[in-house]
A and B are shown apart, each in its own frame.
Chain A
């Protein structure tokens, strides 16, 4: 049940693209196509953005996309907007109906 590894912070200018990585193991990210991504603004509850690795939840902009290769999942945000500034968390199914989250990445839009 070790946390998934994410970079602590990433930054980009409006209109640019950024990618946040999420590294797990063959017991979680690498073993299931069940990675999800959450956006959290300060003082707010997390919001599900991406599920099953690459599927966007209803209402989420197509600027957000997810992918996976081996034990590493990635979230890409294109055409950065100021409202994208938030914390982002990956999460993976880890078997036996348990989940494991990443440590979180703070996105700064410069």
Chain B
């Protein structure tokens, strides 16, 4: 059974940093693109970033470019999101997600339960 478990969320002040993790199991992690999607409280889903199987290609939504860095450790079956210079508008539940096959991430079959990041003074 595929499992994606996010961790690392919490309360942080504006301008601060936080590192999210996603532990994957039940599939060959190194074969799959991985994606972060966020959802602000009471709002819709927003695609944030993704990373290719070997980490060679990374893509970001414009609003986080230069502030967030996606990375992965295939030996640890883990995905990360380093978030710097956090803003109030980054407050959201952050989901880790993946496709069910080893192909471009055109859609997302598997989702974690999310981790809440709150940016507030």
Chain A residues engaging chain B, CB cutoff 8 angstroms: 1, 3, 34, 36, 38, 40, 45-48, 51-52, 57, 89, 91, 93, 96-104
With A98-B59, A98-B61, A103-B44 known to touch, is A51 a contact of B114 (CB < 8 Å)? no
Given contacts A34-B107, A45-B112, A57-B109, contact A97 B44 (CB under 8 A): no
Contact B114 A48 (CB under 8 A): no
B102 contacts the other chain (Cβ, under 8 Å)?
A: no
* Distance in angstroms between the alpha carbons of A9 and B87 in the assembled complex: 29
A104 touches B44 (CB 8 A): yes
- Separation of A69 and B23 alpha carbons in the complex (Å): 39
Number of A-B contacts (CB under 8 A): 67
Contacts of B46 in A (CB 8 A): 3, 101
Binding site for A on B (CB under 8 A): 33, 35, 37, 43-47, 50, 52, 57, 59, 61-62, 95, 104-109, 111-114
Q: Assess whether B59 is in contact with A97, with CB atoms less than 8 Å apart.
A: yes
B44 and A102 contacting across the interface, CB-CB below 8 Å: yes
Report yes or no: A97 in contact with B57, Cβ–Cβ below 8 A. Answer: yes
Asked if A46 contacts B59 (CB within 8 A), the reply is no
Measured between alpha carbons, how far is A45 from B112 in the docked complex, in Å?
A: 7
A98 touches B45 (CB 8 A): no
On whether the beta carbons of B106 and A36 are closer than 8 Å, the reply is yes
Residues of the B chain whose Cβ atoms lie less than 8 Å from the Cβ of A52: 106-107
Q: How far, in whole Å, are A36 and B62 apart by their CA atoms in the complex?
A: 22
